[in-house]
Structure 1
């Protein structure tokens, strides 16, 4: 397949808009022995396109067919295309879309070019303009799919999901819109194998995300890692309106992160500007006085199309099923792309997010009465004081420069700036045990923490093919430097204040204690790393992926008391920690492959023991075997994997025990083993039918065979499917899904008799419907927990999940 720059520009009269090339056939074309996709395939293909602007229709057609389509942007303005349904050739599909437009589709090698059918005088045909464009196969916006063609979160090699020797999942833009997913925790609930153990309001440090039995601590934005190990939970406040998709790599990802647990890496991929003018406005309402507004506009900013921009804004205000809890969110984002030359792309962007919560609780009400029996609370009962709040603000800026060379090599550098201000006044009645008669005996934990952690990072890498022994291979090498600094003041932790009667408590008393600063708190974290990855193709069906990353890491924590002047300084560092990686992929056929992978595990830990000491770094090895398939011309992906993880110094929570700073206390477990398997399928099952299904089982044991992390479900099942009926009006889409997890339990060994709290297995059912009122206006309805299941989101806290609730939105696209 010929390789050309996706940034090629011509003078104004010849400028062309690359529409797209889809994932499936592009992937097959790269396989040894595969033939290039012709511009006019003889075999009919199934297409499903609603009536829409012509440019958007051509873009969707290119994605579904796997063939590049190019057009002068000016030719497509103010032109619409009819709906397209059924099996037909690509040539016929183009003719139908262009009917009455005065335009003609002309084959150009392996691509198609759109041109005027005749000049304005009705004379001779204009000479065709030819271009070959290579679209971003991973972009999910506009594809209508629940899967993507490629992702680089695992290795940075340009691999399809099938070619990646690790378990990966993608939540696409279409999936977010169908299910009404607007916050990162809502995404987590839909990803294969991921779960949340939620002991407090979303976004607090008591709502860890788990994968394969371990806390997820590695986050990326556009593939660039973010440190913030001192408070990783701030990532949960991210709003999804900014992102095209979320890529998740399960298992150890030391090759791309250097340090990390063998849980998962969550990579948020920003929306990018488009050459063609497009946008939407959305208004949403829902349960608990939910109001939300979104607007998203993208377009070329000059006539030549060499400058493109995109702007996004959103606002949300809502109460909650929990008493006293109310939230407000504001989001603003802008991104600009500029073609500095035919092969050089500059991208820069800025985003701002604000999340405020009133009546915010870090935990739930007590689990036990004073006589040792279980308490019984309503789902709406709140542990929060009226004066408790959480305020978060994130300002992110980035600039990237990418250059493509004539030999198919690419060099890219990205600078990122990220400032996350947070101020959290804590007040939650989680201590003590109530007397069943008087309601006395419960304590309110009160305190405050705030800070402005700021990160600067620079990521540079080069990638491209090379030839060895007359075979073509791929190589990536790069380096990353990151610095996080937090200069803040410290506050009193903890006040323990009595609640006179928890059964009549309204959150107003006791009053807010002194929240003035008590000292200085400074935190620094930095990493320097370099890596190299190569994919060797010794013969056609076999790919060998090997790589390593060398990482130097250090952090430093400084505390000083204003009252006494006493200070402490704790510094930890590890130098030149090498993380090897190896993966093997064997193609059984053009659709099926099997794989094996291995990597080391190294993670300095921020978890503390009951005495307040940091646990030693997590060390271990991870092995994975699996099989993957690209079915239905790549429109459907299947994956199955088994894995084993061996670790020392694994942090295991001690239920009911806190470290001196008020955080959860942990104990280190050595000789631990984690085994499990995962099955996942996602994409198009048939024309108009999108689906995602995943089952995951995970079992963690210590050296003695005792189960670990029993507060995390061992088994999870997640299903969602949607079907579009184009014959109903302008189009009706209906869908539904189920989220099931096995039972969880926690043993409170710090209490007499070590009582056990169990949350039995439960299922949650969600439904959706969307009707296209006109070509541009649609209405969507989502219902969550339809059967109103009552359940605790953690076996270690009396915190309940959302009851049945609804959302309704109107979206106008232009």
Structure 2
């Protein structure tokens, strides 16, 4: 058993995984030397309450994280011995604390077996227990900016230090501290990710980049979301239903079958808790922002073998951009049931709506007709009132997990997700205004709508086995996914009898020209299938060395038809790739107790739904990805650090051609082969000192074509992201203050405007602040200020779409 001098930190991250102590049914008399202490502990998650008690009494603490996860403690205050305080904190929890000198062990109250001492006995005979606690990645109620386990890079449930790839986690505490309620807000705070936002939230003109490549891999609880040619629909996710967001940078073919060397974003749903807990939040802010959240979790039967959770959220807001209004809704319900001691069912459903009016894919033109730069107000909108975006999602899922033995586990997950999108496009980014008259600007107008349905089945087996006297890990499984839809085709960008011209952009209020007549001119169908099988092996030839090897075999196909009503002609596209093998190799070497070095390799294979200017689909992306790095874990995994260098080679990389569209109206791309990207990343996340959480990351990336010319000049090469918070327990019931900065280097595009000049956005930094004050043990007031210094900058280059000005949000949190 390894004991640590306890430091005040989130308890779930301060726990050890093995212990050997006497068990006791009832409280023991306070040992000598345990004198009464003046205590002040607020009602809060049990993990944090025990953390506060340990800090105030200077005790060492040993506990399994799973025992306290999801539990809430009452407020405890006054002159009390540690024994008395522990009894109050653990009352009704089914847990007991054993004190041996300055060491406290929290464990379950044992149930006497038949023939043992009667229930009235105060103690049991000493029992030595050695248990390997199961690591959990859940971050709720930990108060932490890091996690103990991540499952997006491999299916083995490794810690961040054990994973031979760069992994970032945005935890529940981080989202609550910064008020991150939408996925793009999370992306903006995640190290190594860049949101090149060229339009309003959810626009297909706002791709996410990592390591120089667009991110098109989105997952929910480890199940890949198949996009059917429109991956940006997954950006409009509300965060209220998720425990955390895991981001693996680099290729993720082992977990997804297909993937670019950019990143994979995995959204992990909240789970029901062992004890009742409730959370209600109301929030108001700049530009008529109003949001409400309700989150209730409770056992549903007396024994607690069935547990449920319900999350609801609603948000209405205007914007700093004229005419843009948004309405968002979320409802999530889930049930978790212990069918047997070894079998658990996790099933639920969610509904999300994201609706916007006055919605634009871009900003106003960046250049006058004479080639000089325009200078619009940040509030100036490129959207007419008739432009809108509607995105609705419904997901039903069920997961059955069975523990065959202490070492082997089976899991099956079935999901049906129906996405609906209807977007009437209108944005005044075309043309160039005449400086003297305001004439010359045109509206791009079009429409696309569909209702894709995805059915997925994921089967997984994980286990451990003995070989040559050592334990090793293995996982294997299969994934089957099918996405289909039927959708109308429209006349996009040009419309008979309709003029796109705006008479005077200086006086334009969006009402003219009116919405064009845009009838359906045909229909399209799509059937996309992605089936794969994989195996992963983690060998431990020595205590310090772990070798990982795995592969996934992929079959992918997509069958599409497009029919013109006017001629009845049908165009058929039947594409497929069979038996594609994606290998994965990795090694992790423990240098000492805190530091490890690692290396990993995987290949790249991604079928593409991007179109060339002539309408043809691009060939699959292929290539290789290499990564070397070092990782550190400190304070019993409460603080994680990493640094990595990487290199990727890729063929058929899609590069967007500005203002060029394929015949179907979608963005046109050019295929570039022989591209390479290389760079390095550094990150630190977790608890630096008791009550002090930090997340900091720096990334540098260079992407070039085969002639060594730089690609993606409109994506920053260097980014720095920092956020930190500190909890001051001595002020009232607790005050938490925090702040952060996001910095990026200059970006540019050449050959812009009539003068074919360079459009540059210089390097800039955005500063954010937060505060949370506990008014009582259950009520807190929060405040978040974004862009504190009111920095004026463009989100991207190519048009005049500005970043969000300074804004304020205040909230009231009630927990019970």
TM-score (norm 2): 0.90
- Classify the secondary structure of the residue corresponding to 2:184: helix
1:589 aligns with 2:592: yes
How far did 1:430 drift? Answer: 1.0
1:242 aligns with 2:241: yes
1:350-749 equivalences in 2 (<5 Å):
350-495=349-494, 497-748=500-751
Q: Distance in 2 between matches of 1:174 and 1:725?
A: 16
How far did 1:554 drift? Answer: 1.1
Q: Distance in 2 between matches of 1:706 and 1:539?
A: 45
- Classify the secondary structure of the residue corresponding to 2:567: coil
Q: Distance in 1 between matches of 2:792 and 2:537?
A: 50
Is the contact between residue 246 and residue 269 of structure 1 (CA under 8 Å) also seen in structure 2?
Answer: yes
Distance 1:310 1:577, change over 3 A: same
Is the contact between residue 11 and residue 48 of structure 2 (CA under 8 Å) also seen in structure 1?
Answer: no
- Classify the secondary structure of the residue corresponding to 2:493: strand
1:105 aligns with 2:100: no
1:161-176 equivalences in 2 (<5 Å):
161-176=160-175
Is the contact between residue 391 and residue 422 of structure 1 (CA under 8 Å) also seen in structure 2?
Answer: yes
Q: Distance in 1 between matches of 2:371 and 2:560?
A: 40
Q: Distance in 2 between matches of 1:53 and 1:685?
A: 22
Q: Distance in 2 between matches of 1:565 and 1:182?
A: 46
How far did 1:94 drift? Answer: 3.5
Q: Which of 776, 785, 797 is 1:783 aligned to?
A: 785
Q: Which of 790, 793, 796 is 1:794 aligned to?
A: 796
1:164-217: CA deviation from partner (whole Å, max 9, x where unpaired):
000000000000000000000000011111011111111010000000011000
Q: Distance in 2 between matches of 1:315 and 1:610?
A: 41
How far did 1:84 drift? Answer: 11
The equivalent of 1:16 in structure 2 is none
How far did 1:649 drift? Answer: 1.2
Is the contact between residue 58 and residue 69 of structure 1 (CA under 8 Å) also seen in structure 2?
Answer: no
Is the contact between residue 331 and residue 352 of structure 2 (CA under 8 Å) also seen in structure 1?
Answer: yes
- Classify the secondary structure of the residue corresponding to 2:486: strand
Q: Distance in 1 between matches of 2:262 and 2:68?
A: 46
1:80 aligns with 2:74: yes
Distance 1:84 1:186, change over 3 A: farther
Q: Distance in 2 between matches of 1:252 and 1:138?
A: 22
Q: Distance in 2 between matches of 1:504 and 1:142?
A: 52
How far did 1:811 drift? Answer: 0.5
Higher alpha-carbon deviation: 135-144 or 417-426: 135-144
1:690-710: CA deviation from partner (whole Å, max 9, x where unpaired):
011100000001111110011
Is the contact between residue 544 and residue 583 of structure 1 (CA under 8 Å) also seen in structure 2?
Answer: yes
How far did 1:504 drift? Answer: 0.7
Distance 1:104 1:141, change over 3 A: closer
- Classify the secondary structure of the residue corresponding to 2:246: strand
Distance 1:39 1:166, change over 3 A: farther
- Classify the secondary structure of the residue corresponding to 1:518: strand
The equivalent of 1:17 in structure 2 is none
How far did 1:661 drift? Answer: 2.7
Distance 1:705 1:666, change over 3 A: same
The equivalent of 2:7 in structure 1 is none
Is the contact between residue 22 and residue 126 of structure 2 (CA under 8 Å) also seen in structure 1?
Answer: no
The equivalent of 2:766 in structure 1 is 764
Q: Distance in 2 between matches of 1:330 and 1:581?
A: 40
Distance 1:364 1:69, change over 3 A: closer
- Classify the secondary structure of the residue corresponding to 1:801: coil
- Classify the secondary structure of the residue corresponding to 1:22: helix
Is the contact between residue 227 and residue 484 of structure 1 (CA under 8 Å) also seen in structure 2?
Answer: yes
How far did 1:22 drift? Answer: 3.4
The equivalent of 2:298 in structure 1 is 299
Moved beyond 6 Å, runs of 4+? 58-64, 69-73, 88-93, 99-103, 107-110, 128-133
Distance 1:631 1:257, change over 3 A: same
Is the contact between residue 251 and residue 262 of structure 1 (CA under 8 Å) also seen in structure 2?
Answer: yes
How far did 1:810 drift? Answer: 0.1
1:103-158: CA deviation from partner (whole Å, max 9, x where unpaired):
95248998623589xxxx99752659999794552100000000000011101112
1:51 aligns with 2:46: no
Distance 1:214 1:127, change over 3 A: same
Higher alpha-carbon deviation: 448-457 or 126-135: 126-135
1:281-300: CA deviation from partner (whole Å, max 9, x where unpaired):
00000000000000000000
The equivalent of 2:805 in structure 1 is 803
- Classify the secondary structure of the residue corresponding to 2:541: strand
Is the contact between residue 66 and residue 134 of structure 2 (CA under 8 Å) also seen in structure 1?
Answer: no
The equivalent of 1:328 in structure 2 is 327
How far did 1:72 drift? Answer: 12
Higher alpha-carbon deviation: 794-803 or 169-178: 794-803
Is the contact between residue 81 and residue 98 of structure 1 (CA under 8 Å) also seen in structure 2?
Answer: no
TM-score (norm 1): 0.90
How far did 1:97 drift? Answer: 3.6
How far did 1:486 drift? Answer: 1.0
1:690-736: CA deviation from partner (whole Å, max 9, x where unpaired):
01110000000111111001110000000000001110000000000
Unaligned runs of 5+ in 1: 3-19, 30-35
Is the contact between residue 695 and residue 717 of structure 1 (CA under 8 Å) also seen in structure 2?
Answer: yes
1:68 aligns with 2:67: no
CA RMSD of aligned residues (A): 3.2
Q: Distance in 1 between matches of 2:347 and 2:216?
A: 26
Distance 1:722 1:69, change over 3 A: closer
How far did 1:333 drift? Answer: 0.7
Is the contact between residue 95 and residue 106 of structure 2 (CA under 8 Å) also seen in structure 1?
Answer: no
Q: Distance in 2 between matches of 1:764 and 1:486?
A: 41
1:10-25 equivalences in 2 (<5 Å):
22-23=12-13, 25=15
Is the contact between residue 166 and residue 250 of structure 1 (CA under 8 Å) also seen in structure 2?
Answer: yes
The equivalent of 1:774 in structure 2 is 776
The equivalent of 2:308 in structure 1 is 309
Q: Distance in 2 between matches of 1:502 and 1:564?
A: 39
Q: Distance in 2 between matches of 1:168 and 1:71?
A: 26
Q: Distance in 2 between matches of 1:625 and 1:305?
A: 46
1:341-367: CA deviation from partner (whole Å, max 9, x where unpaired):
000001101000011101000111112
How far did 1:443 drift? Answer: 1.0
Is the contact between residue 637 and residue 681 of structure 1 (CA under 8 Å) also seen in structure 2?
Answer: yes
Higher alpha-carbon deviation: 667-676 or 526-535: 667-676
1:531-555: CA deviation from partner (whole Å, max 9, x where unpaired):
0001001111000000000001111
Distance 1:107 1:571, change over 3 A: farther
Distance 1:293 1:592, change over 3 A: same
1:813 aligns with 2:804: no
The equivalent of 1:266 in structure 2 is 265
How far did 1:373 drift? Answer: 1.4
Is the contact between residue 76 and residue 85 of structure 2 (CA under 8 Å) also seen in structure 1?
Answer: no
The equivalent of 2:122 in structure 1 is 125
Is the contact between residue 722 and residue 735 of structure 1 (CA under 8 Å) also seen in structure 2?
Answer: yes
Q: Distance in 1 between matches of 2:268 and 2:378?
A: 35
Unaligned runs of 5+ in 2: 3-9, 24-33, 55-59, 112-117
How far did 1:654 drift? Answer: 2.3
Q: Distance in 2 between matches of 1:602 and 1:479?
A: 18
Is the contact between residue 643 and residue 675 of structure 1 (CA under 8 Å) also seen in structure 2?
Answer: yes
The equivalent of 1:33 in structure 2 is none
